[in-house]
């Protein structure tokens, strides 16, 4: 029987993830010790309410309401309470005392990441956060280590299970956004207040973390462009389906050359976009997550799995725990978070993308020519046009014009600024009744 040195592990928070971490840690302690080269002794679990119900049993003597005291003397602190405060203060206390910290707190990392990484580097401690993006899917470590010798060009992630579930229901079951959201709430895929998910805030935090890591550049959350899914209609989803696309909420981190200045920079953005049904991301159904990476040498990679869930997220936390323990056994500093590339972060209007625009137009000769002229005046090249004649909606009937036409126009790649200027010009045009739908198209042609 090998005698292992014991490492003292303090856990902050015993919610759905924390309770599972405790369960697995107590259940598989011997196995984890063998793999780590050190015993992982859970010295306590800090909670707000000692008597709150838990999803897994936690021995009473481990529970405490005094987080600060628990952090004192811990070798490794696992922060699973979420939110900005007191999580930030606890983590800083732990790092300053020399403890390694493991967190799943994406909001905190996207907001105060640089401060935390700086604190860790000052004392030679490590901050691990595999669970902060896409839960159980290993993505932080592959980006930081496996692809360290490569150059990432673009990351497109389905990193929010709630919105993917909703969009998937709209696509596969023909439910409206409201209906699909109700289904998601009923089945536990959406929280009582779904704002953070459906407005894209959660995905934006993950985009900030992925972009920072992939491009070795600090990308603060307020530089992430964000649109949620609340404006996505069933009509859009069904039209996309007919055209061979599916609508997905994508978190995108991209190396972009500013079309105005030629300077290389980073774009981080979140919006619902069309991707081809043949794209690997189109096969990601329900509440699943996936991160698609385009790298210069490695080519296209995809990482797929559960993006939420207590036990799934606990798997990522325990992986980090073994890494932290191994580092304690080995000694020496770990890998510091690198922001040495320090690229400029470009606003959304410098992004190069494609649009699919649906227009309700008057049905008369010369309309297509007029519309096409507006595109070319803004340096946007049209790739496809589909025209269909259909009765106008009552609101759009003007005088005796009872018939209108629908134009679906797909563009080639163009600068976002030119594309949005084109849409404004279309909306103001006399031949256009209304701009029915504007969606970006992502994924290589």
Q: Distance between alpha carbon 31 and the CA centroid of its chain, in Å?
A: 32
Q: Residue 32, interface with a copy of itself (CB under 8 A)? A: yes
Q: What's the closest the beta carbon of residue 286 comes to a copy of itself, in angstroms? A: 12
Distance CA 434, CA 413 (A): 23
Q: Which of 69, 85, 115, 145 binds a copy of itself (CB under 8 A)?
A: 145
- Should residue 326 be labelled a site residue for a copy of itself when binding is judged by CB under 8 A? yes
Min CB(298)–a copy of itself separation in Å: 4
Cα 220 to Cα 109: distance, rounded to the nearest angstrom: 9
Q: Contacting a copy of itself (CB under 8 A), which of 170, 295, 346, 432?
A: 295
Under 8 Å between Cβ of 166 and 184: yes
Q: Does 335 bind a copy of itself (CB under 8 A)?
A: yes
Tokens 């580097």 locate to: 121
Give the active site residue among 23, 206, 248, 288.
Answer: 206
A 10 A CB-CB count for 84 gives 12
Burial of 18 per CB tally in 10 Å (0-12, 13-18, 19+) = buried
Does 130 participate in binding a copy of itself (rule CB under 8 A)? yes
Does position 319 interact with a copy of itself (CB under 8 A)? The reply is: yes
The nearer residue to a copy of itself, 137 or 380, going by C-beta atoms, is 137
Quote the DSSP letter at residue 142: I
Stretch that binds a copy of itself, among 260-268, 296-304, 346-354, 371-379 (CB under 8 A): 296-304
How far apart are CB 356 and a copy of itself at their closest, in Å?
Answer: 24
Asked whether position 276 contacts a copy of itself by CB under 8 A, the answer is: no
Residues 341-360 that bind a copy of itself (CB under 8 A): 341
DSSP code at position 159: -
Span 196-225, contacts to a copy of itself by CB under 8 A: 216
CB atoms under 10 Å from CB of 378, counted, come to: 19
Subset of 360-419 contacting a copy of itself (CB under 8 A) = none
Query: Does 41 sit near a copy of itself (CB under 8 A)?
Result: no
d(CA 422, CA 375): 6
Phi, psi of 158 (to 5 degrees): -95, 95
Which residue from 62, 276, 298, 417 is in contact with a copy of itself, where contact means CB under 8 A? 298
Q: How far is the CB of 69 from a copy of itself (least distance, A)?
A: 26
**CA dist., res. 366 & res. 363, Å (int):** 9
Q: Name the DSSP letter for residue 73.
A: T
- Shortest distance, position 322 Cβ to a copy of itself, whole Å: 4
> What token pair was written down for 106?
């994406």
Any contact of residue 141 with a copy of itself (CB under 8 A)? yes
- Tell me how many residues contact a copy of itself (CB under 8 A): 59
Q: Is 142 in the site for a copy of itself (CB under 8 A)?
A: yes
- Specify the stretch interacting with a copy of itself by CB under 8 A; choose among 157-165, 240-248, 306-314, 355-363: 306-314
The window from 4-12, 26-34, 41-49, 398-406 that contacts a copy of itself (CB under 8 A) reads 26-34
Assign 3-class secondary structure to 26-37: HHCHHHHHHHHC
Q: Candidates 71, 137, 181, 247: give the one binding a copy of itself (CB under 8 A).
A: 137
Decide whether 13 or 319 has the Cβ nearer to a copy of itself: 319
**Phi and psi of 5, rounded to 5°?**
-65, 140
Determine the 3-state secondary structure of 365 from DSSP: coil
Whether 206 is catalytic: yes
Residue from 62, 121, 303, 349 in contact with a copy of itself (CB under 8 A): 303
Closest residue by Cα to residue 102 from 329, 328, 338:
328
Q: How many other CB atoms sit within 10 Å of the CB of residue 425? A: 16
Give the separation between CA 62 and CA 274, rounded to whole angstroms. 49
Q: What is the DSSP string of 270-308?
A: EEEEEEETTSGGGG--TTEEEEEEEETTTEEEEEEEE--
**Which CB, 240 or 295, lies closer to a copy of itself?**
295
Verify binding: residue 315, a copy of itself, rule CB under 8 A: yes
How does strand 39-46 pair with strand 225-226?
Answer: unpaired
Complex with a copy of itself: residue 31 or 69, whichever CB lies closer: 31
Tell which one of 11, 13, 19, 20 touches a copy of itself (CB under 8 A).
20
How many CB atoms lie under 10 A from the CB of residue 127? 24
Tell me which residues are annotated as active site: 206
Q: What does the binding site for a copy of itself look like in residue numbers (CB under 8 A)?
A: 20, 24, 28, 31-32, 34-36, 130, 136-138, 141-142, 145-151, 216, 280, 283, 295-306, 309, 311-312, 314-323, 326, 330-335, 338, 340-341
């Amino acid at each position: 029987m090998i005698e292992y040195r014991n490492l003292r592990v303090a856990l902050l928070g015993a919610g759905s993830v924390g309770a599972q971490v405790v369960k697995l840690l107590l259940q598989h302690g011997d196995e984890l010790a063998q793999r780590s080269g050190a015993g992982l002794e859970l010295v306590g679990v800090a909670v707000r309410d000692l008597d709150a119900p838990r999803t897994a049993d936690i021995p009473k003597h481990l529970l405490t309401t005094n987080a600060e005291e628990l952090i004192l003397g811990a070798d490794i602190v696992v922060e699973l309470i979420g939110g900005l405060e007191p999580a930030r203060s606890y983590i800083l206390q732990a790092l300053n005392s020399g403890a390694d910290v493991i967190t799943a707190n994406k909001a905190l990392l996207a907001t105060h990441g640089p401060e935390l990484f700086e604190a860790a580097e000052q004392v030679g401690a490590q901050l691990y956060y595999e669970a902060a993006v896409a839960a159980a899917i290993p993505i932080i470590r592959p980006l930081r280590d496996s692809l360290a010798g490569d150059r990432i060009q673009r990351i497109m992630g389905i990193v929010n299970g709630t919105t993917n579930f909703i969009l998937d229901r709209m696509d596969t079951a023909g439910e409206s956004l409201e209906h699909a959201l109700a289904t998601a709430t009923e089945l536990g895929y959406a929280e009582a207040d779904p704002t953070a998910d459906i407005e894209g805030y959660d995905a934006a935090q993950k985009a900030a973390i992925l972009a920072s890591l992939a491009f070795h550049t600090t990308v603060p959350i307020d530089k992430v462009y964000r649109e949620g899914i609340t404006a996505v209609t069933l009509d859009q989803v069904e039209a996309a389906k007919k055209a061979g696309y599916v609508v997905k909420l994508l978190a995108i981190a991209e190396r972009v050359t500013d079309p105005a200045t030629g300077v290389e920079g980073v774009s981080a953005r979140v919006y619902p976009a069309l991707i081809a049904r043949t794209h690997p991301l189109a096969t990601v159904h329900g509440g699943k997550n996936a991160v698609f990476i385009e790298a210069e040498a490695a080519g296209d990679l995809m990482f797929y799995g559960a993006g939420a869930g207590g036990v799934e997220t606990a798997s990522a936390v325990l992986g980090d725990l073994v890494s932290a323990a191994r580092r304690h056994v080995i000694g020496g500093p770990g890998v510091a978070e690198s922001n040495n590339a320090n690229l400029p972060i470009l606003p959304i209007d410098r992004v190069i993308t494609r649009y699919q625009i649906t227009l309700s137009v008057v049905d008369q000769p010369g309309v297509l020519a007029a519309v096409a002229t507006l595109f070319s005046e803004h340096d946007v090249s049209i790739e496809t046009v589909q025209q269909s004649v259909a009765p106008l909606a009552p609101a759009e009937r003007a005088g005796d014009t009872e018939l209108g036409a629908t134009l679906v126009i797909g563009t080639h790649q163009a600068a976002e600024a030119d594309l949005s200027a084109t849409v404004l010009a279309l909306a103001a045009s006399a031949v256009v009744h209304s701009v029915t739908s504007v969606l970006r198209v992502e994924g290589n042609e």
